[in-house]
Amino acid sequence: MSIGQAYLSTAIARMKYYKSLGDKTIEQLSDQELHFQPNEASNSIAVIMQHIAGNMLSRWTNFLTEDGEKEWRNRDGEFEPQQSDKASLVAYWDKGWNCFLGALESLSEDDLLKTILIRNEPMTAIDAINRQMAHYPYHIGQMIYAAKILKNNDWQNLSIPKGQSAAFNAGSQVKDPAKEFGQK
């Protein structure tokens, strides 16, 4: 496997893992909890979901041939609370992820050094991928943090629970859960 193929394979596996963390967070929440906004300066989990999906659809539709900031995108609207129910939010979330992952899966190693545009700023495709590999997990972390506050003792842990690191490290399970998404 070449370094470019390895990069794409690991990028896809990492992002599928982060999607799974977002999915497992969303599953634990009610409609009302998804829309909870702790204060006016903060976003609800629903708003974060809207933003991630909107960003993915804009950035990854015709990734190699069109500017990643599409004219049809309403970024400011992504940060406005909608009265979407959980099923609608999840459908939009999945639409964004399908667009993003489909675009990544369609890339070849030769595409990685191609120049693409985001807001008329040229960058290599690999830089655009790296940019989003930081952006999406940042927001998923916000979702998880807010959900843990909302669920408190009812939160179902997505990682190694407090006080259980030694037992986890001594176990025989896969230590890096993202690697499970790289297996075919």
Q: What is the CATH number of domain 15-159+174-181?
A: 1.20.120.450
At 89-143, the pLDDT tens digits run: 999 999 999 999 999 999 999 999 999 999 999 999 999 999 999 999 999 999 9
Domain boundaries defined on the chain: 15-159+174-181
Cα–Cα distance between 142 and 145 in angstroms, integer? 5
Least confident of 35-39, 54-58, 112-116, 120-124: 35-39
pTM over the 0.85 mark: yes
Q: Is the pLDDT of residue 53 over 90?
A: yes
Nearest to 180 by CA among 29, 41, 14: 14
What would the pLDDT profile of 90-101 be if each residue is shown by its tens digit? 999 999 999 999
Residue pointed to by tokens 């909890």: 33
- pLDDT tens readout for residues 159-182: 888 888 888 888 877 778 777 787
Mean pLDDT on 54-79: 97
Q: DSSP letter at 85?
A: -
The string of DSSP letters for 11-60 reads: HHHHHHHHHHHHHHHHHT--HHHHT--SSTTS--HHHHHHHHHHHHHHHH
pLDDT band for position 184 (50/70/90)? low
